[in-house]
Structure 1
Amino acid sequence: MASLSRHRRAFWGDVRFLVGIALVALSITGVWFIVSTSDDATPVLQAQRTITQGEALRSSDFQVVELGLGALTDEYLAPQDLRTGQVASRTVREGEIVPVSVPADAEKSRSTTVLVESSIGIPQDVLAGATVEVWHAPPLDDGRTFDTPRILVADVIVRRVIEAEGMLADAGTQVELVIDRADVADVLAAITGGSSLSVVPVGPGS
């Protein structure tokens, strides 16, 4: 019996030894994987603030972060890819890793900005990058009343909201909007023609 007991102890001792070897091997493999992943990290640009469509891309608006993107490396903007004269082809949210599809040539951009005074209040959560509609109500012949409101331009982007202060607080809220150049004439005609304009949020926040 004593011989059998010693045999069992020796067997379990061998098993524990092998398990220990396996754990050490797994630990070494894990460290190697972390180090190799770190070595494969690629520097890319991350937006430090919301950048609206058509806005100039400046190096100060980004920070460089290193990420292990693997096969997706070529799909994101590297620091050396940012050049003077580029604008955002779409809105880039704060904290977003910037895709290579975002930069566009400023000379070829189809968007511009127009300052519109909204006759109605705008929710506080409508900030830069929000999507809105512009409604207008043309003045009637009596010069005191307005026609039924209708959409002037849809799905435009807010560049910034300018809240009136002090004695000008009753003048309404001014909103700088990013609009397609093809819509500029209609918007300016509504402004100069005395239409009552309203900026209405769509989607989240509406």
Structure 2
Amino acid sequence: MASLSPPRRAFWGDVRFLVGIVLVALSISGVWLIVSTSDHAIPALQAARTITQGEVLTSDDFQVVDVGLGSLADDYLGPDDLHAGSVAARTLESGELVPESALTDADRSRSTTVVLQSSTGIPEGVKAGTVVEVWQAPPLDEGRSYDVPRILVADVIVHDVLDAEGVLADTGTQLEVVIDRADVADVLAAITGGAALSVVPVGSGS
């Protein structure tokens, strides 16, 4: 009587076993990576409010949070990296981690702030950090009429709306804006010359 040999195990069964081992190994590696990253969290500065370009900064403008930045740790500022006289090189949104490139020394800052009055009120949504264009209509006939409006300064950052309740008032609304120092003379000339100034948000179809 011929003996029956045991049936051979299908090859695909072995493959499934190997795939299962690989998936378990990947899962364990993922958990280890998460734990390892959390263990290497470091303190970093986070903007406590919207900070506009050109602002002189103090520790009150930030809060300290522990984050795992990995290889990017050197690109962001910690609580010991904020020095007296630092200013914002660009606008920082509230809650944003502070990269090293977002701060500069006051001596290197090319911007300053100027207060101007918009004769047409402020469009809805304009607030600190909004990028706007400043338009001017030069006076004619000793101020009895005005010339065709034209752009005075483009890509200006609003630092503060000083009279948010006066949007519909005839006197307009005052804003403090951040401008390049090279544009200060033109802006002051328009203000002292009696030009009618208007603010238009960038991208509003002006």
Scaled by the length of structure 2, the TM-score of the pair is 0.81
8 Å Cα contact 1:164/1:172 also seen in 2: no
Structure 1 residue 152, shift from structure 2 partner: 0.7
Q: Which runs of 5 or more structure 1 residues have no equivalent in the other structure?
A: 1-18
Residues paired across the two proteins, number:
197
Distance in 2 separating the partners of 1:26 and 1:164? 56
8 Å Cα contact 1:125/1:205 also seen in 2: no
Structure 1 residue 123, shift from structure 2 partner: 2.2
RMSD: 3.0
Match of 2:134, SS?
strand
Alignment partner, residue 118 of structure 1? 118
Matched, 1:100 2:124: no
After superposition, what is the alpha-carbon deviation per residue over 1:8-43, rounded to whole angstroms, capped at 9, x for unaligned?
xxxxxxxxxxx8xx97x8886665444322211121
Q: Which runs of 5 or more structure 2 residues have no equivalent in the other structure?
A: 1-19
8 Å Cα contact 2:143/2:194 also seen in 1: no
8 Å Cα contact 1:46/1:62 also seen in 2: yes
8 Å Cα contact 1:126/1:205 also seen in 2: no
Match of 1:101, SS?
helix
Q: How does 1:152-171 map to 2 (within 5 A)?
A: 152-163=152-163, 165=165, 169-171=169-171
Alignment partner, residue 57 of structure 1? 57
After superposition, what is the alpha-carbon deviation per residue over 1:90-122, rounded to whole angstroms, capped at 9, x for unaligned?
001111111110111112211111001001122
Alignment partner, residue 4 of structure 1? none
Scaled by the length of structure 1, the TM-score of the pair is 0.81
Matched, 1:129 2:126: no
Q: How does 1:24-39 map to 2 (within 5 A)?
A: 32-39=32-39
Distance in 2 separating the partners of 1:151 and 1:189? 14
